[in-house]
Amino acid sequence: MRVAGLLLAGGRSRRFGSEKAVALLGDGLLMDVPLAALRVTCDALVVSARKGSGAEARAAELGVRCFSDTPHDPEGPLAGIRRGLLWAEAAGFDWLAIAPCDAPTLGADQYRTLIRAVERGAPAAVGQGEAGLEPLVSLWPVEAGLLALEAALSNREHPAIRIVLAAIGAVPVALTGYDGRNVNAPADMPTHL
């Protein structure tokens, strides 16, 4: 079972007021935390970020491949996931682990739990944290995920990610110890890790 990892860092961060992926957090940046979780559990990594963004620069600094949505892609995370699935398919991966760039408490244990769920037969897995379902903390089968996404994005609109997760049979998986925190505004930034 070959698992690749995709960090989603291409959002506009409107509520944050600046590019939140590269907001300072401890000795690093906000995006470093979920990226580290993927690095430990995945065989290869890629970052989805806007061209010329701080996230693109950080990925290059860390030696992680980066790509951007194309102009005809609908705005939203599914466009980045689709590009990630295409990359994973071309590279021969079976699964793609998804992480949002704004999850300061997301760790490798959560991805190990998702991987165990698919090893036990789940067709796909989506994290269930203390705050509820976490659609962007998920594990997608590359082939089935691409088929579902092509259908979902065919009219150039961006449906809810939960619809696509349901289409691939994603099973909710309890992520013990994960509070589901994400950063939408500067006040959401943790004061310590």
Looking at every residue in the chain, the average pLDDT score rounds to 87
Whether the predicted pLDDT of 118 surpasses 90 = yes
Predicted confidence band of residue 181 (pLDDT cuts 50, 70, 90): confident
Predicted confidence band of residue 186 (pLDDT cuts 50, 70, 90): low
Predicted confidence band of residue 107 (pLDDT cuts 50, 70, 90): very high
pLDDT digits (tens, 9 = 90+) for 44-87: 999 999 888 888 999 999 999 998 877 676 677 898 999 999 99
Spatial neighbors of 167 by CB under 8 A, at least 6 apart, are: 148, 151, 152
Domains of the chain: 3-182 (3.90.550.10)
pLDDT the model gives residue 50: 85
Instruction: Give the Cα separation of 7 and 44 in Å (integer).
Output: 11
Whether the predicted pLDDT of 183 surpasses 70 = no
Higher-pLDDT residue of 153, 135: 135
pLDDT the model gives residue 115: 97
pLDDT digits (tens, 9 = 90+) for 6-34: 999 875 555 545 567 877 777 778 889 99
Instruction: Give the Cα separation of 84 and 80 in Å (integer).
Output: 6
Tokens 């580290």, located at residue: 36
Rounded to two decimals, the pTM is: 0.90
Q: Residue 178 region, left (φ>0) first, then alpha (ψ -120 to 50), else beta?
A: beta
Cα dihedral 164, 145, 52, 42, rounded to 10, equals 120
pLDDT the model gives residue 26: 74
